[in-house]
Amino acid sequence: MSNKHINTQNESQPSVFKWGAATHVGNVRISNQDKYGITSNLMAVADGMGGHNGGEVAAEIAVTTLTASSGFQSINEFAYLVQKAHHLIQARAQENINLDGMGTTLCALSEINTQETSQRIGAVNVGDSRIYLFTNNVLHQVSVDHSLVQELIDNGKISEIEAKSHPQRNVITRSLGHQPIIEVDAWEIDLIIGDRYLLCSDGLTNEISDTEIAEILSTKSDPQQAADQLIQSALENEGLDNVTAIVADVLSGKEERNSSIIQFDVQTLSPEEDKKFSEGKTSNALISLVEKITKSRTT
């Protein structure tokens, strides 16, 4: 498997994850516009889009911006950095007409270093790249796709099965670089030893089912072998798109959850606050960020 990525791993800093990662151009495309990046306690996957090399540039800006971070003390700081990547992509596109209209999805995980005794993972997502949690042999989708078919599903107009073959299944409704202002979905999740996370582009989830993903994650104990097998399975189907997967096992944290119920409370960065940032109206945007609970899901 191809493992070309952005890696700023600091070997002197202990990692809370043991990870494996792989990416592949797929069976049809001639270039790989997926990018992933990994540091000691952060990992990100971006799926670029745009003519010429635009998608690759947008994805690289997004991943590089996140992996340059030295850490986060709150989920707001994490979401804020995604907003910063969004504006950096827009600025780069304005400099080069060949990059006009470029954009990228982005999903990422990071340890949140708070003063509290409980250890937490921060998760962020824009677009239809996905974050999964595999725990107690059950696969949970953390992120919610920002896509047309997901909106149709949420509105009860089509079923999950119909979405798989919907002619507009690749239409996304939110991405970095495209809209003037974006909302960043964000979650805080307990850091539990033994939990396994998967970050992937839609080149994986369009080719293999959640059942197949769970089977691979349960049978491949080594995260690198699991990542390689996920990519291989996608390629053995149609492999129509670039495909990327990061599998990360939690090495440190709490021994177990306080509850057997897995619940994901999504928070968003307020668009109004982001507008202030983009217009330079606040000197400390981090302080002015407002958390807003928009949806709670129990799986």
Please give the average per-residue pLDDT across 213-228, as a whole number: 98
Q: How confident is the model at residue 297 (pLDDT cuts 50, 70, 90)?
A: low
Residue pLDDT, tens place only, 136-159: 999 999 999 987 676 676 666 666
Does the pLDDT value for residue 179 go beyond 50? yes
Superfamily of domain 6-298: PPM-type phosphatase domain (3.60.40.10)
Does the pLDDT value for residue 193 go beyond 90? yes
Does the pLDDT value for residue 298 go beyond 50? yes
Please give the average per-residue pLDDT across 64-77, as a whole number: 92
Q: What is the DSSP string of the chain?
A: -B---EE---TTSPPSEEEEEEEE--SS-SS--EEEEE-SSEEEEEEEE-TTTHHHHHHHHHHHHHHT---BSSHHHHHHHHHHHHHHHHHHHHH-GGGTT-EE-EEEEEEE--SSSS-EEEEEEESS-EEEEEETTEEEE-S---BHHHHHHHTTSS-HHHHHT-TTTT-BS--BTTSSS---EEEEEE-BTT-EEEEE-HHHHTTS-HHHHHHHHHH--SHHHHHHHHHHHHHHTT--S-EEEEEEEE-SSBSS-S-S--EEEEEE--HHHHHHHHTT--S-HHHH----EEEEEE-
Residue pLDDT, tens place only, 101-138: 899 999 999 999 876 656 889 999 999 999 999 999 99
pLDDT of residue 163: 59
Residue pLDDT, tens place only, 222-279: 999 999 999 999 999 999 999 999 999 999 888 888 777 888 888 877 555 555 545 5
Provide the percentage of residues in the chain whose pLDDT is more than 90. Answer: 60
pLDDT of residue 172: 83
For the chain, give every domain's residue range.
Answer: 6-298
pTM of this prediction exceeds 0.85: yes
Residue pLDDT, tens place only, 264-295: 888 877 555 555 545 544 334 333 343 444 45
pLDDT of residue 268: 77
